[in-house]
Structure 1
Amino acid sequence: MKDITSQYQNADGTSAPLNTRSGFVAIVGKPNVGKSTLLNSLMGVKIAPTSPRPQTTRKGVRGIASTDETQLVFVDTPGVHRPKDALGKYMNGEVQNALSDVDAVIWVVDLRHPPADEDSMVARSIRDLRAPLTVVGNKLDVAKYPEEALRLYTALLEGRTGETASVMLSAQNDVTKVAALRESLAANLPENPFFFPRGAASDQSREQWAAEILREEAMKKLRDELPYAVATRVTDWTERPDGLQRIEAEIVVDRQSHKGMVIGAGGKQLGAIGAAARKQLEVFLNAKVFLGVQVVVIPGWREDTEALRELGYE
């Protein structure tokens, strides 16, 4: 996972003492517990898509938070679940990849509910890790019995020998607690050169980021199981001399019958998805955006490894 882009050296080529700390922090948990919301709060800027639907995150998304002396590389991961198709297997694989070489782990749990089978799956995957672990009990503001719930989650880690801490918060609202968590993680980073340029906020390309914004809005507006049969990609991005960002994108579905559902009567559904995504893009880009969206059909793309690769799931 780690790829140091620059080393510290003396003028004669010998190694210089490090004066910076950096490392990777994986954020794991079952679907819909607030992992992406926590990442965005830790970053102070939107990096990962969020929606009320589970499994919004499909890829490991890196958020990069740097100060003069520290660099935290947060890796948001898909929710751990029992996969039903090749896409689901890819998503679970992303979690294992993220855990393979990290300096710390955040396990996000939902304090509104006791642990479920998927939480036990997560606990088994992290119990034997040597990296320091922080159990983040999320949604504190709406939980009735948060202390009891947190005890049940931490009990799943019985036998763990690595350093373990816990905190309860609301990832969406507890600015002070989120900041304290970030500072605690930064204080315990190992000595390393920075892995990414100091001003970077994410390792996503602008096209990948915009595609995820579009998919987020599609997931919010489409009903039933249809959101999980949807992928998105940006096919062209042009900046005009007047500053207008012209973006062409596709919403990909796996059945012909789904195409009409995404478009909607008179194109209203597609128009609403595109308008909502365009508003988000204009806010974050601080520029006028033209967003052209088409719906295309790739039959059975969630089970087609070549199609998954073309759509960026590789």
Structure 2
Amino acid sequence: MNTGSSELNTSGNTQSQTRSGFVAIVGKPNVGKSTLLNSMLGVKVAPISPKPQTSRRGVRGIYSTPEEQIVFVDTPGLHRPKDALGKYMNGEVHSALADVDVILWVVDLRHPPADEDELVARIVRDLPKPLVLVGNKLDAAKYPDEALRLYAAQLEGRTGDTQQVMLSAQNDPGATAELRASVLALLPENPFFFPVGAASDQSREDWAAEIIREEAMKRLRDEIPYAIATRVTSWTERQDGLQRIEAELVVEKQSHKGIVIGQGGKQLRDIGQAARKQLEVFLSKHIYLGLEVIVIPNWRADQEALRELGYE
């Protein structure tokens, strides 16, 4: 995973004008924000699963050309929070919107606006920043034009620059490339914020932990996926190049621990094997991945536990 520091990078960019800026990707849960980010970057920096609220942190994904740089901020789905974790996730959305140059509001064209869409519209309506209303999942929508009109109506009265586009982030790279070009045209003249070649500002440990959590969320049912956190506790490299990664899956109840491990350890092995394959593909290195399941009671409502798990 190629990551960059948060220091301003001016070397090599002072002889000609460069354009760069921050772009927030917002929307309710499960509309395809992370899929859109990964598609526009051409590399996977954000976790994806069919379940809502897979994203919990604001993840920065960086796209650079010699003269232009977009720093995308993929945010958790805005929703009505039920615990401290939910409040933290909504806080990530508000924090991202406070200091960006462009906003992408992603909506699901398969459905008309719901209450959570109105939550998003209420926030972005009053922000005087360029906004692109991105109607996603076009390939599966029966009445996409009507759906987009309903979403656009929620922005009535907005005074900032507003554009609209419909696409399928999962399988339409041409449309996502066009959207990326439109975003680049909206950016101000600025020096680059990250080195050319950086794909994300995440540490490799945080990125790997999210890959593991993604694979767990895909395989677990009911409430358990939302009650799981992951963290990498060690990462070492042997002389032969093998990357040895040790990680924890944190659950809230002892009964959850047994379900995550599975009969004879099968569930945990399946999670580990799938995560290891992803890591090996993206890192192009052999991986040993050791997983342990631990219990931190009611961690989603515990501010101290949230801080320990990196939600701060």
SS at match of 1:237: strand
Provide the secondary structure at the position in 2 that maps to 1:203.
coil
Q: Matches of 1:134 and 1:59 in 2, distance apart?
A: 22
* Structure 1, unaligned runs of 5 or more: 10-15
1:188 counterpart = 2:186: yes
The amino acid across from 1:25 in the alignment is: V
**Match for 1:201 among 199, 202, 213?**
199
1:282 maps to 2:285: no
Q: Which whole-Å CA distance do the structure 2 matches of 1:281 and 1:142 have between them?
A: 30
SS of 1:119 mapped into structure 2: helix
Is residue 72 from structure 1 mapped to residue 75 from structure 2 by the alignment?
Answer: no
Letter paired with 1:118 = E
Tell me which stretches of 4 or more aligned residues in structure 1 moved more than 4 Å: none
Report deviation, 1:188: 2.0
Once the two structures are superposed, residues 66-86 of structure 1 have per-residue CA deviations (whole angstroms, 9 ceiling, x without a partner) of 110001000000000000000
The aligned counterpart of 1:54 is 52
Task: Tell me the CA shift for residue 8 of structure 1.
Answer: 7.1
**Contact preservation (8 Å) 1:236, 1:249:** yes
| Deviation of the 1:130 alpha carbon | 1.1
Counterpart code for 2:70: L
**Contact 1:18 1:193 (C-alpha < 8 Å) held by counterparts:** no
Give 1:18 shift.
5.9
1:229 is aligned to 227
What's the counterpart of residue 136 of structure 1? 134
Q: CA RMSD in A?
A: 1.4
Matches within 5 A, 1:4-83: 5-7=8-10, 19-83=17-81
Q: Note the alpha carbon deviations across 1:208-227, whole angstroms, 9 max, x for none.
A: 00000000000000111100
Amino acid at match of 1:208: D
Residue 112 of structure 1 corresponds to which residue in structure 2?
A: 110
Alignment partner of 2:259 out of 258, 261, 266: 261
Deviations 1:246-295 (A, max 9, x none): 00000000111111010011001111111110010010011111000000
Q: Deviations over 1:63-117 (max 9, x none)?
A: 0001100010000000000000000000000000000011000000000000000
Structure 2 segments unaligned to the other structure (5+ residues):
1-5
One-letter code of the match for 1:5?
L
**CA offsets per residue over residues 193-239 of structure 1, 9 Å max, x none?**
11111111000000000000000000000111100000000000011
Q: How big is the shift at 1:6?
A: 3.7
The one-letter amino acid paired with 2:232 is V
Of stretches 301-310 and 213-222 in structure 1, the one that deviates more from structure 2 is 301-310
Write the distance in 1 (CA, Å) between the matches of 2:85 and 2:111: 27
The Cα offsets for residues 113-169 of structure 1, whole Å up to 9 and x where unpaired, read as 000000000000100111100000000001000000000000000100000000000
| 8 Å Cα contact 2:130-2:186 kept in structure 1 | no
One-letter code of the match for 2:157? G
- Structure of higher RCO (CA pairs closer than 8 Å, 6+ residues apart): 2
CA distance in 1, matches of 2:169, 2:55: 16
SS in 1 for 2:310: coil
Matched, 1:88 2:86: yes
* Distance in structure 1 (CA, Å) of the matches to 2:71 and 2:231: 25
Q: Which residue of 1 aligns with 2:119?
A: 121
Residues 231 and 251 in structure 1, CA contact (< 8 A), matched pair in contact too: yes
Contact 1:62 1:203 in 2 (8 A): yes
Residue 8 of structure 2 aligns to which amino acid in structure 1?
Answer: T
* Offset, 1:41: 0.3
Q: SS where residue 293 of structure 1 aligns?
A: strand
Q: Tell me the secondary structure at the aligned position of residue 222 of structure 2.
A: coil
Paired residues of 2:233 and 2:246 also in contact (CA < 8 A): yes
TM norm structure 1: 0.96
What is the aligned counterpart of 2:237 among 215, 239, 246? Answer: 239
Q: Secondary structure at the match of 1:47?
A: coil
Residue in structure 1 matched with residue 306 of structure 2 by the alignment: 308
Q: Distance in 1 between matches of 2:286 and 2:10?
A: 39
Q: What is the aligned counterpart of 2:168 among 165, 170, 181?
A: 170
| Alpha-carbon separation, structure 1, partners of 2:15 and 2:278 | 43
Tell me the distance in 1 between the aligned counterparts of 2:139 and 2:36. Answer: 14
